[in-house]
Amino acid sequence: MSKIVVIGSCSVDFTTYAPRLPKPGETLQGTKFTTSFGGKGANQCVAAAKLGGNTSMICRLGNDQWGKSYLDNLKQAGVDTTYVKLMEDVTTGIAQISVAENGENQIVIVPGANAYLGKEDTESSEELLKNADVLIGQLETPFETTLEAFKLNKGIKILNAAPARTGIEEILPYCTILCVNESEASLLTGFDVNIKNAVDALCKLLRYGCDTVIITLGPEGAVYLSKHTNEPIHVLCDQVTPVDTTGAGDAFVGALATYLVQNKKQPIDHIIGAACKVATLSVTKEGTQTSYPDKFNAFEKEYKSINL
């Protein structure tokens, strides 16, 4: 069975909701508190696993109550956790999030064990990395580790260049697919990316050396360009009333990886359309990993796409 390997981050999200954000030194009474499992790497891995992907996670967690809970969560999702390392005297990565009624938020992230993902992890999982059918990486863990993993892999390599940052040009020639949203694409190209100038953005990003570039556009779907076809395409998606958009991009990446190995005969625009469908379904429910759909027939219809 084709193997999807994710090397990246795990974090626990502590989220409080209040009528507004507090001012410096102020204490407010909140309305709701939630604890959930997050981190871009684990989100993408769980999204793939829930869709039936044969997944493995390479990451680090603290040997604390949150790390142990997270390990159980990955196992329950059907993820192979052979290369999940629990660290002593280091906390599991956390995100402390405050959300106001108007949608504004404040976030403090403590990487914890995520910051220690390194050479030891790529060496111990070298055979897995080499032979993975799809390898997924992001930018929430040390860049050098993701770069080394991409150099080792012989299959399809998907880089979700998030959170947005510059200075990643070295890894791009090793990427089969570079997947970014509008803000991430804007930082990498040096101009504000939108649907009107998406072709210029796709062309510029493609020149960095990857095979294919996908820019996700939220409710407007996604655009992509491959050096093999040189035809920029806009894949449309269904319109829904969103409940919670957190983690939708991760749902897209996990679905993309799954469908690339499970539905190889499908055209790439249909695969991207199916991944958009998964992301769209995720925004209709609260939460991140809990909002990701279980396996369903994502190809029961054809997805609309247009040439740009």
DSSP 8-class letter at 236? -
- Spatial separation of the C-alpha atoms in residues 301 and 294, rounded to whole Å: 18
The one-letter code for the residue type at 13 is: D
Say if residue 140's pLDDT is above 90: yes
DSSP letters, 89-104, are TSPPPEEEEEEETTS-
Average pLDDT, the chain: 95
Q: Is 221 annotated as a binding residue?
A: yes
Say if residue 29's pLDDT is above 90: yes
pLDDT at site 1: 64
Tokens of residue 51, six digits: 């869709």
* CA distances to 29, 195, 196 from 308, in Å: 50, 9, 9
Lay out the sheet containing 11-18: strands in order across.
32-38, 11-18, 94-100, 105-110
Mean pLDDT across 249-276: 96
Domain boundaries, the chain: 3-9+38-91+111-307
Mean pLDDT across 7-23: 93
Element (H, E) at 225: strand 222-226
Q: Is 173 annotated as a binding residue?
A: no
Say if residue 83's pLDDT is above 90: yes
pTM of the model: 0.94
Nearest-CA neighbor of 247 among 7, 36, 56, 75?
36
Q: Is 103 annotated as a binding residue?
A: no
Q: Are strands 11-18 and 32-38 parallel, antiparallel or unpaired?
A: antiparallel
Tokens of residue 253, six digits: 């990446």
Of the pLDDT bands very low, low, confident and very high (cuts 50, 70, 90), residue 104 is confident
pLDDT tens for each residue of 148-179: 999 999 999 999 999 999 999 999 999 999 99
For the annotated catalytic residues, the residue numbers are 250
Say if residue 305's pLDDT is above 80: yes
Q: Is 230 annotated as a binding residue?
A: no
Q: Is 282 annotated as a binding residue?
A: yes
Is the Cα torsion angle 99, 104, 108, 114 positive or negative in sign?
positive
Superfamily per CATH, domain 3-9+38-91+111-307 = Ribokinase (3.40.1190.20)
Say if residue 231's pLDDT is above 70: yes
DSSP letters, 32-76, are EEEEEEE-HHHHHHHHHHHTT-EEEEEEEEESSHHHHHHHHHHHH
